[in-house]
A and B are shown apart, each in its own frame.
Chain A
Amino acid sequence: MVLEFRLPRVNPHMSKALIECMYAEPGTTLKAGAKLLDLSVDLGDTFLQDCPPISFYRIVMRENAVLRELRVGVGQPCAPGELIAVFSGSASDVVDEPAQRSIRFVTAGIVRHGGMWTENLR
Chain B
Amino acid sequence: MTSIPLRLGPLKAEGYTIRRSGVRWLAEPGQMCAANQVVAYFNLELGAEGAASGPAPFAEERELFVACAPRVAGRLTFDAAEAPGGYLSIFGFNRWNADTVIGSIDAESPPDDADGIVGELRLLLLTGRRMTQLADVRSGLLSGWYGRKRAWWSDGGTPLTLLSLGICDVIGAVAGEDAAFLEMFRSEPAASQIVVVPDHPVAPVAPVLLDQLERSPAQYRAMCADVQLGLSRTGTTPTAEDWMFAGSMLAMLERNPIRETYDLLSGSGLTRSGPADAVLLSLSAEPPAILQHKKLGYRLHFLPHFHNAAGPAVRKWLADAFEPIARTIDDIKTDYERLLDTIEATTGALVIVLNRMSTSGDENVSSYQPFDAPLSATLANIASKELNVMLDDVADGRNVAIVDLDAMAADIGGAEHVPDGVHQSGAMQELVRAEILHALDGLRPER
* A70 located at the interface, meaning its Cβ lies under 8 Å from any Cβ of chain B in the complex: no
B362 adjacent to chain A (CB < 8 Å): yes
Chain A interface, DSSP helix/strand/loop, else mixed: loop
A106 and B370 contact, CB distance less than 8 A: yes
A109–B380 touching, CB < 8 Å? yes
Contact B369 A108 (CB under 8 A): no
CB neighbours (8 Å) of B321 from chain A are none
Interface residues of B in 136-170 (CB under 8 A from A): 168
Verify if A13 is at the interface (C-beta below 8 Å from B): yes
Q: How many chain-A residues does the 8 Å CB contact rule pick out?
A: 33
Query: Is there an interface contact between B303 and A106, defined as CB atoms closer than 8 Å?
Result: no
Which of A11, A35, A109, A122 meets B419, CB within 8 Å?
A11
For B422, the chain A residues whose CB sits under 8 A away are: 53
Contact for A108 among B288, B303, B363, CB less than 8 A = B363
A102 at the interface (CB under 8 A from B): no
Contact partner of A110 (CB less than 8 A), chosen from B307, B315, B378, is: B378
Q: How far is the CA of A50 from the CA of B383 in the complex (A)?
A: 25
A29 at the interface (CB under 8 A from B): no
For B369, the chain A residues whose CB sits under 8 A away are 33
Q: B413-433: which residues lie under 8 A (CB-CB) from chain A?
A: 415, 419-423
Q: Are A52 and B421 in contact (CB under 8 A)?
A: no
- Are A109 and B363 CB-contacts (below 8 A) given A13-B419, A53-B419? yes
Q: How far is the CA of A11 from the CA of B1 in the complex (A)?
A: 50
Residues of B within 8 Å of A33, CB to CB, are 367, 369-370
**Could you tell me if A10 and B365 are in contact, using CB atoms closer than 8 angstroms?**
no
Q: How many angstroms between the C-alpha atoms of A42 and B378 in the bound complex?
A: 19
Instruction: Give complex CA distance A43, B380 in Å.
Output: 17
Contacts of B421 in A (CB 8 A): 55
Contacting residue for A57 out of B362, B370, B423, CB 8 A: B362
Which B-chain residue is minimally distant from A9 (CB atoms)? B362
Q: Do B363 and A48 touch (CB < 8 A)?
A: no
* Interface residue ranges of B337-381 to A (CB < 8 Å): 360, 362-367, 369-371, 377-381
Chain B: interface residue total (CB-CB under 8 A)? 31
B366 touches A111 (CB 8 A): no
Assuming the contacts A11-B419, A43-B419, asked whether A57 and B363 have C-beta atoms less than 8 A apart, the reply is yes
Contact A49 B309 (CB under 8 A): yes
Q: Tell yes or no: A28 within 8 A of B by CB.
A: no
- B305 touching A108 by the CB < 8 A rule? no
For B383, list chain A residues within 8 Å (CB). 111
Q: Please indicate the chain A residues that have their CB under 8 angstroms from the CB of B168 in the complex.
A: 51
| Distance of A11 from chain B, by nearest CB (Å) | 5
Please report the C-alpha to C-alpha distance between residue A108 and residue B382 in the assembled complex, in whole angstroms: 10
Q: Are B305 and A56 within 8 A (Cβ)?
A: no
**Does B445 belong to the interface (CB within 8 Å)?**
no
**A11-B380 CB under 8 A given contacts A34-B370, A51-B168, A55-B421:** no
Given known contacts A10-B362, A55-B362, A111 and B380 CB-to-CB distance under 8 angstroms: yes
Provide the A53-96 mask, 1 if CB < 8 A to any CB of B, else 0.
Answer: 11111101010000000000000000000000000000000000
Report whether A109 and B360 are in contact in the complex, using a CB–CB cutoff of 8 Å. Answer: yes
Looking at the assembled complex, report how far the CB atom of A108 sits from the nearest CB atom of chain B, in whole angstroms. Answer: 5
Does A12 reach chain B (CB closer than 8 Å)? yes
Q: How far is the CA of A113 from the CA of B307 in the complex (A)?
A: 16
Interface residues of A in 20-49 (CB under 8 A from B): 32-35, 43, 48-49
CA distance A122 to B422 in the complex (A): 22
Cβ–Cβ contact A109 & B381, under 8 A: yes
Q: A12-B415, A56-B380 are in contact. Are A106 and B420 (CB under 8 A)?
A: no
A-B pairs with beta carbons under 8 Å apart, 11 shown: A12-B419, A32-B370, A48-B305, A53-B420, A58-B378, A62-B366, A106-B370, A107-B363, A108-B378, A113-B378, A118-B304
Taking Cβ atoms with an 8 Å cutoff, the residues of A that contact B are: 10-13, 32-35, 43, 48-58, 60, 62, 106-113, 118, 121-122
Other than the given A11-B420, A51-B423, A53-B419, 4 more pairs (CB < 8 A) read A48-B305, A51-B303, A108-B371, A111-B379
4 closest Cβ contacts across the A-B interface?
A33-B370, A53-B420, A109-B380, A53-B423
